[in-house]
Amino acid sequence: NDRSGVLVEILNLLAKEKLDVKSVNSRTRKKKIILSFKIKLISESARLELAKKVRQLRDVNDVKISVDG
């Protein structure tokens, strides 16, 4: 789904959580939009809570949070 505003909603959620967004990338695959965010390192419990909140947004199908480094 390519609902207008989903990127803004995710960015607003990240801002509300006071997370430092380093970069945002987007691409499409099989009629889906894939958004990738690089944020400042957060704890495992914070990652789980963030994933839960993002999943609750309308038209978000999946959330994967990985740690770099």
Give pLDDT tens digits along the chain (69 positions): 456 788 899 999 999 999 888 888 888 888 788 888 888 878 889 888 999 999 998 888 888 887 665
The rounded distance, in Å, linking the Cα atoms of 10 and 27 is 16
What is the pLDDT, as a whole number, of residue 69?
A: 52
The rounded distance, in Å, linking the Cα atoms of 33 and 36 is 10
DSSP notation for 23-53: EEEEEEETTEEEEEEEE----HHHHHHHHHH
What is the pLDDT, as a whole number, of residue 12?
A: 93
Q: In 3-state terms, what secondary structure has residue 5?
A: coil
Whole-structure pTM value: 0.76
